[in-house]
Amino acid sequence: MTRVNKQIILAKRPQGMPDNNTFQFVKKDVADVKDGQILIKTLYVSVDPYMRGRMENVESYVEPFKLNEVIDGGSIGEVIESKSDRFKEGDVVTGMFGWQEYYVAGENEVRPIDPSIAPITTHLGILGMTGLTAYFGLLDIGKPKEGETIVISGAAGSVGSTVGQIAKIKGTRVVGIAGSDEKISYLKDELNFDEGINYRTTDDIKSDLQRACPDGIDVYFDNVGGEISDAVMTQLNRYARIPICGAISTYNMEETDIGPRVQQTLIKKSALMQGFTVGNYSDRFKEGAQQLGQWLQEGKLTYRETIREGFDNIPDAFLDLFRGKNIGKLLVKVANRQYG
């Protein structure tokens, strides 16, 4: 029996916001499964802001997507055929098999997930790359100390919402910046952030920051860049640390991203800015995942997911990231489990 594999390929590199010309749906026969391989049926795919960067043909920390190839990205799937001793039908696995319905994987390409411990989708979110991004960026670069004040931009997103909760565990005052009243309520009421600032409705974000951070800002976990970051930079304390995780406000810009230069501020405050990507910490993933799992089990961490349904909606879900629609981790559900 030949199965047909629906894929989404990068048809054209976008200029500015990706659109209908960026992506193309194609169908291909699924290859035969050889010894040592498994056939995976995709259950969930992750859509993440960093993928926008990979659509550009520029050198970065991960190589660019290739034209006319499947969009790569984190996924969860179920093994539906196995010629490997290490996997059996019904096993749930995660890996980078991207935007397609089926994938024939070598046995070292994917990692098994235990569905009895936590919902499998957490492995694309709080127990996966986004949780690890929050964990290492905050603790390794931000180094929050008890009693300090931390500001998080993109605070209601998958990474930001985890950063804020870890910062609360560490005993800091946590202020989140987000783009809707619903998000601000989520931060304050569900995640116990100390303050929230809606950057879309405020008249004066600097005054809001001053009110929310009466003792200044010691750590700024930056997911957005742009003018929000310009405002935060004016209120840093001495020895402030700024993990630069993302700059989503600028990913779809066609012109050069221009703003106040930061050098004088960094000198005056002896402040540190450091860009990072979670892959820098791959040798410590186990440590991070264990700690996150423990906090989750202890009820010290919580998370939200926004789950869109249907393979055909993946591109639109991806674009929602830039429309600021999601709270927490944004996923697309592609299929139900056959087994288990």
Q: Is 252 near its own copies (CB under 8 A)?
A: no
DSSP state, residue 278: G
From the list 102, 39, 92, the residue with the least C-alpha distance to 70 is 102
Q: Residue from 16, 119, 260, 310 that binds its own copies (CB under 8 A)?
A: 260
Q: Residue from 185, 202, 210, 265 that binds its own copies (CB under 8 A)?
A: 265
Taking the complex as a whole, how short is the minimal distance between the CB of residue 62 and its own copies, in angstroms?
Answer: 10
From the list 113, 132, 152, the residue with the least C-alpha distance to 241 is 152
**Contacts of its own copies in 195-224 (CB under 8 A):** 222
Taking the complex as a whole, how short is the minimal distance between the CB of residue 265 and its own copies, in angstroms?
Answer: 7
Only one of the segments 22-30, 65-73, 183-191, 273-281 lies at the binding site for its own copies (rule: CB under 8 A); that segment is: 273-281
Q: Residue from 34, 238, 300, 323 that binds its own copies (CB under 8 A)?
A: 238
Binders of its own copies: how many residues, by CB under 8 A?
37
Q: Residue 273 or residue 289: which is nearer to its own copies going by CB?
A: 273
Only one of the segments 128-136, 154-162, 183-191, 253-261 lies at the binding site for its own copies (rule: CB under 8 A); that segment is: 253-261
Q: Residue from 268, 284, 300, 323 that binds its own copies (CB under 8 A)?
A: 268
Q: Give the pair of three-digit tokens for residue 297.
A: 């089990």
Q: Residue 35 or residue 59: which is nearer to its own copies going by CB?
A: 59
Q: Residue from 31, 169, 266, 335 that binds its own copies (CB under 8 A)?
A: 266
Taking the complex as a whole, how short is the minimal distance between the CB of residue 280 and its own copies, in angstroms?
Answer: 6
**Contacts of its own copies in 34-53 (CB under 8 A):** 53
Q: Tell me the residue type at 286.
A: K
Only one of the segments 11-19, 119-127, 176-184, 245-253 lies at the binding site for its own copies (rule: CB under 8 A); that segment is: 245-253
Using CA atoms, how far apart are residues 213 and 208, in angstroms rounded to an integer?
A: 8
Q: Tell me the residue type at 110.
A: V
Q: How far is CA 123 from the centre of its chain?
A: 12
Q: Is 64 near its own copies (CB under 8 A)?
A: no
Q: Is 1 near its own copies (CB under 8 A)?
A: no
Q: CA torsion 61→66→71→72, rounded to 10°?
A: -40
Q: Residue from 61, 171, 215, 323 that binds its own copies (CB under 8 A)?
A: 61
Using CA atoms, how far apart are residues 9 and 65, in angstroms rounded to an integer?
A: 9
Q: Is 336 near its own copies (CB under 8 A)?
A: no
Spatial neighbors of 38 by CB under 8 A, at least 6 apart, are 79, 81, 82, 83, 84, 87, 93, 104, 105, 107, 110
Q: Is 261 near its own copies (CB under 8 A)?
A: yes
CB-based contact 63:3 (threshold 8 Å)? no
Vertex 187: Cα angle to 198 and 122 (nearest 5): 125
Q: Is 276 near its own copies (CB under 8 A)?
A: yes
Q: How far is CA 149 from CA 95, 173, 220, in A?
A: 36, 5, 9
Spatial neighbors of 101 by CB under 8 A, at least 6 apart, are 5, 6, 7, 41, 42, 311, 334, 335
Q: Give the pair of three-digit tokens for residue 96.
A: 């980078």
DSSP state, residue 254: S
User: Which single residue is written with the structure tokens 């619903």?
Assistant: 182
Q: Is 245 near its own copies (CB under 8 A)?
A: yes
Q: Residue from 116, 263, 282, 336 that binds its own copies (CB under 8 A)?
A: 263
Q: Residue from 9, 51, 247, 301 that binds its own copies (CB under 8 A)?
A: 247
Site residues (CB under 8 A) for its own copies?
A: 53, 59-61, 222, 225-226, 229, 238, 244-247, 250, 256-277, 280
